[in-house]
Structure 1
């Protein structure tokens, strides 16, 4: 089973590359945002718990998110693998994910980290904001804050996977297809 953590700051190209990876390797896309909305809409126990917390402005705890991911993995037990998008964001989440996957007889194959300089990210996200409709993509202060937040809080997850020899760095500037080709060549050497 091919399980990929697609990693990178806002604007690195994760959305673009994840769609191409899903198609090529026939992976199931696991986006924590989509999972939360899906569980809430389905009225599941986890979804109701998440909605209650979100309505109070409280972050959904890791165990709830990991539970939703586990449900999706069990629903897709015949999948060729999964691509994790937006998760894990902290080392604690990575550890919880690893434990849950081991309980389901699988593991993370690799982390693909899209490396892009901060100023390029800033430009990309503001450009995306012109068409995305997302207010957080249009506010320069918020964009810089999101990039800083990533560098301070999320970047340590890369070290977690680096220590497991699962970290693969890909330079995220250039033609989309060239970046995709580089990603695939790295995946193909380990899978």
Structure 2
């Protein structure tokens, strides 16, 4: 079972991912974690990624695609993968679908947490105070991350939907338990 979870920054993906991984025994692919792991191991891909992160830049699509592909092939024999943070745009979505289809597999579901912009900005303020997250203190940075999601990631979701990949779309401003109930019941259909 291969699942992709989407949601703007502060939508609560991390909270839901932990539960999905636990209940469905999926391998979690968080692009940030995988990139940091490659960097820590000083692999060729990790060294290339460091060149960008050391300058405060995002790693380019091609590099991220190689890292995701490597992770997928190393973990594809597990029960399934939960893709979190990838794909971020339509090109990455095309790449991911290509890699999985070459392997005679598919993306079984998309989970999309939708949260109004005002709610996301309020969550950023709250998280900045509670967790001392410097990236959430500057509302311009948060706004930029939200805009990037709207401009790049939403088209990727639409692209995948147009290919017939079923989406569980959820109001991410609902209580955490309610969100997870919807996710769980949608994913349980795949396991039966």
User: TM-score, structure 2 length as denominator?
Assistant: 0.91
SS in 2 for 1:112: strand
User: 1:101-141: per-residue Cα shift (whole Å, max 9, x none)?
Assistant: 22233221111000111111111122111133321211122
Q: How does 1:1-191 map to 2 (within 5 A)?
A: 2-166=1-165, 167-191=167-191
SS in 2 for 1:155: helix
User: 1:147-179: per-residue Cα shift (whole Å, max 9, x none)?
Assistant: 222212221111012112222211112221111
Tell me how far apart the structure 1 counterparts of residues 5 and 17 of structure 2 sit (CA, whole Å): 7
Tell me how far apart the structure 2 counterparts of residues 84 and 72 of structure 1 sit (CA, whole Å): 11
Instruction: Tell me how many residue pairs correspond in the alignment.
Output: 190
Tell me how far apart the structure 1 counterparts of residues 186 and 28 of structure 2 sit (CA, whole Å): 19
Q: RMSD of the alignment, in Å?
A: 1.7
5+ long unaligned stretches in structure 1: none
| CA apart distance, 1:4 | 1.0
User: 1:56-104: per-residue Cα shift (whole Å, max 9, x none)?
Assistant: 5554222221221222222223311111111111000000111112223
| CA apart distance, 1:35 | 0.8
5+ long unaligned stretches in structure 2: none
Tell me how far apart the structure 2 counterparts of residues 53 and 10 of structure 1 sit (CA, whole Å): 21
| CA apart distance, 1:142 | 1.9
